Amino acid sequence: MKGGSRCGAGRPAQHAKAEQCRHIDIRRFVKADILRPGAWGWVWNDPDTGKEAASIGINVKTMAMLTLDYAVGGVPICEPVRIERTPCTFGHSRPWFACPACGHRVALLYLRGVRFRCRNCHGLRYASQSEDVCGRSWRKQSKLEDRLGQHWSKPKGMHKATHARILGAIWQCEGEREDALVAYIDRIDCNGQ
């Protein structure tokens, strides 16, 4: 066998996950109408208890600048963030955060360590980027099954052709997992001999 035993080769690297970090989303700020001048607050609730887990002060100076006021480990931090706007079709504009580190236009800024930065500056990955073939296949199948009724039945109003296509995609997911299992067993057999 060429290259010797490569235990764990091809396994995705372990990176910090975006889903594990607190973040601010400018789209939610727009929805909550807090991008106008004034001082506002934002609260993160614990998903298990529903109680307040953390909070941040947002001081909107102008339509193009806001300040984030928060504390990490008891140390107060005041971080300015630029707001950029892109024109929309019917005369309005869409706001974006300008990442304080790289200046790229983003909708979300993540808190990792003591600073809010974009996902790339913090080196964050989505959880789905670390999944193997089986994990991706299970996630895809779960989404497909959510579109169907109980026991993969055709929901009312769904075309038969659509139902058949979804069932075919589910069987394809199961085939991908079987192929991955066979390839894994083959690798083990080759290494064992």
Does residue 2 have a pLDDT over 60?
A: no
Q: What is the pLDDT of residue 104?
A: 95
* 150-172 confidence digits (pLDDT tens): 999 999 999 999 999 999 999 99
In the predicted model, what is the mean pLDDT of residues 108-122?
91
Distance CA(17)–CA(128), nearest Å, equals 9
> Which structure tokens are listed for 125?
């990955």
Of 168, 192, 23, which Cα lies nearest the Cα of 97? 23
- The whole-model pTM stands at 0.67
Residue 170: count of CB within 10 angstroms of its CB: 18
Tens digits of per-residue pLDDT, 53-106? 888 999 998 889 999 998 888 889 999 999 999 999 888 899 999 999 999 999
pLDDT at position 8:
52
Question: CA-CA distance, 108 to 188, in Å (whole number)?
Answer: 43
Question: Over pLDDT 90: what percentage of the chain?
Answer: 40
Domains of the chain by residue range? 18-122, 131-192
